[in-house]
Amino acid sequence: MPARALPGFREFYPEEISLRNHIFAAWRNVARRYGFEEYDGPPLEPLELYTEKSGPEIVGQLYEFVDKGQRRVALRPEMTPTLARMVGARAASLKKPIRWYSIPQLFRYERQQRGRLREHFQLNMDIIGEPGPLADAEIIGAAIDVQRALGLGPEDVRVRISDRRVLRCLLLGAGVPEEDLTATFMAIDRVGRVQNVAELIEKALEHAPEDRTAIAKRVLEIASIRDRGRLEKALGDVGAGSVAEGLLDCLDALRAMGFEEFVDLDLSIVRGLAYYTGIVFELFDAQQSLRAICGGGRYDGLLGALGGADLPAVGFGMGDVVLGELIKEKNLLPSKRAALDVFIVAVTGADMPEVLALARELRDAGIAVEYPLRLQSVAKQLKLAAAREARWAVMVGPDERSEGKVLLRDLASGSEEKVGREALLQRLGTVTAGK
């Protein structure tokens, strides 16, 4: 037995690739309808692209090694730093706002668990060059429309939205020292995932002079805000009402777009990546029994930090793994369509040249055709045709050839008729035209 596939890496047998293709088709369809252009980058990158900007969670999961030229390299664990570099390098000549999408395969050396593998495909949609909240709403709207395109509604998928600018303000007001903000963000990011969040928050408050337990309690209260009323009151208390303008405008825009039913305000959403600066969001299955389907947000400092043009940006990454699980769970798998239109049966060896010529003609007309690659009994050929779920068998035998016709059998009904070449093409062509 040859060596097995590595843990966390998938083999896509035809049944599985059809689900993957279904997801990719929905991704491309939505990207097209939103006017996004496709790009791609290298799967292998200099290690430093991630060590500086991505944050400890991803860096701890890198597939990294030294290549034969003694370069420290990593398989890409995410697309955003590559995108930021590519746009930064040509920023002057690109028409803003830039709307780009990509479907990279990504690699993370994670502990393998449900919904988390060591490779996955991820739809990335990003808008670069627009700081206003309509760009955030557009990006979140696209993520929601992918769910809708796959048959998932607000009872299946929820979008949870927050804003790091707002959270930062509230945390400072609650007594979290500026130096401990990042660590506190990362602790809040664990809300709902681990039991001991209060403890994690206390640990994060390294520089707090006063009672850490009391501050941690206030932090947890802030993270539990789920509605506008409480948010506005909390901001009023610290005299920072206007900091939530972007978030509230984004929520209003999503309502105007008709997506309100999908959306929940949720101040416990922070995101694990280091580069986010504003609105952040995640999509989850409504039962929250699976990992996140999608995550994204605004990262206005990343392009500048990578040495390119200092442009604001917002986007998301949506993986194929959890989405695939949800589609299966909700029985939303696409109905299987017969891949093969026609199986041509050669009645005798002498019919083979005619079979080959006919196959070529039908394939040129866009029809999916198979024929036996070695001479077999008619019964065996028909068995193979049935196994392939072909719609028709076209029989070519000495009698048919002498008449200049073929025998067309509908494999579902069993009905047969003799037809000439032209009539055959017309029949098959019109039935397969909509494919």
- Spatial contact of 223 and 171, defined as CB atoms under 8 Å apart: no
Tokens of 314: 């917002």
- In our burial notation (b when 16+ CB lie closer than 10 A, e otherwise), range 324-356 reads bbbbeebeeeeeeeeebbbbbbbbeeebeebbe
Sole window of 120-128, 150-158, 235-243, 341-349 interacting with ligand HAM (rule: CB under 6 A): 120-128
CA 226 to chain centroid: 27
- Rank residues 103 and 166 by Cβ distance to ligand HAM and give the closer one: 103
39 to 78, contacts with ligand HAM by CB under 6 A? 78
| Interatomic CA distance for residues 339 and 20, integer angstroms | 16
Give me the sheet containing 44-46, strands edge to edge. 44-46, 72-75, 64-66
126 to 145, contacts with ligand HAM by CB under 6 A? 126
Shortest distance (Å) from residue 122 CB to ligand HAM: 5
- Rank residues 306 and 321 by Cβ distance to ligand HAM and give the closer one: 321
- Rank residues 62 and 200 by Cβ distance to ligand HAM and give the closer one: 62
- Rank residues 119 and 249 by Cβ distance to ligand HAM and give the closer one: 119
Question: Which residue from 28, 116, 218, 388 is in contact with ligand HAM, where contact means CB under 6 A?
Answer: 116
* Residue 330 within binding range of ligand HAM, rule CB under 6 A: no
Residue closest to ligand HAM (Cβ): 319
Shortest distance (Å) from residue 32 CB to ligand HAM: 19
- Ramachandran class of 291: left when φ > 0, alpha when ψ lies in -120 to 50, beta otherwise: beta
* Residue 428 within binding range of ligand HAM, rule CB under 6 A: no
Tokens of 135: 């760009």
Question: Which residue from 135, 144, 191, 321 is in contact with ligand HAM, where contact means CB under 6 A?
Answer: 321
Question: Which residue from 26, 102, 103, 124 is in contact with ligand HAM, where contact means CB under 6 A?
Answer: 124
Question: Which residue from 52, 110, 354, 389 is in contact with ligand HAM, where contact means CB under 6 A?
Answer: 110
Question: Which residue from 99, 120, 160, 165 is in contact with ligand HAM, where contact means CB under 6 A?
Answer: 120
- Rank residues 294 and 419 by Cβ distance to ligand HAM and give the closer one: 294
Pick the closest to residue 235 from 251, 248, 253, 249 (CA basis): 248
Tokens of 30: 């939505």
- Rank residues 99 and 212 by Cβ distance to ligand HAM and give the closer one: 99
* Residue 270 within binding range of ligand HAM, rule CB under 6 A: no
Sole window of 10-18, 312-320, 352-360, 398-406 interacting with ligand HAM (rule: CB under 6 A): 312-320
Question: Which residue from 82, 102, 122, 277 is in contact with ligand HAM, where contact means CB under 6 A?
Answer: 122
Question: Which residue from 75, 294, 367, 385 is in contact with ligand HAM, where contact means CB under 6 A?
Answer: 294
Shortest distance (Å) from residue 182 CB to ligand HAM: 17
* Residue 322 within binding range of ligand HAM, rule CB under 6 A: yes
* Residue 295 within binding range of ligand HAM, rule CB under 6 A: yes
- Rank residues 127 and 411 by Cβ distance to ligand HAM and give the closer one: 127
Shortest distance (Å) from residue 313 CB to ligand HAM: 7
Tokens of 83: 């995108």
State the amino acid at position 151 in one-letter form: G
* Residue 296 within binding range of ligand HAM, rule CB under 6 A: yes
* Residue 117 within binding range of ligand HAM, rule CB under 6 A: yes
- Rank residues 146 and 176 by Cβ distance to ligand HAM and give the closer one: 146
Shortest distance (Å) from residue 275 CB to ligand HAM: 8
Question: Which residue from 129, 315, 324, 372 is in contact with ligand HAM, where contact means CB under 6 A?
Answer: 315
Residue 165 CB contacts under 8 Å (≥ 6 apart), including other chains: 243, 246, 247, 277, 278
Burial class (CB in 10 A: 0-12, 13-18, 19+), 236: exposed
- Ramachandran class of 109: left when φ > 0, alpha when ψ lies in -120 to 50, beta otherwise: beta
Interface contacts to ligand HAM, rule CB under 6 A: 78-80, 108, 110, 116-117, 120, 122, 124, 126, 273, 292-296, 315-319, 321-322
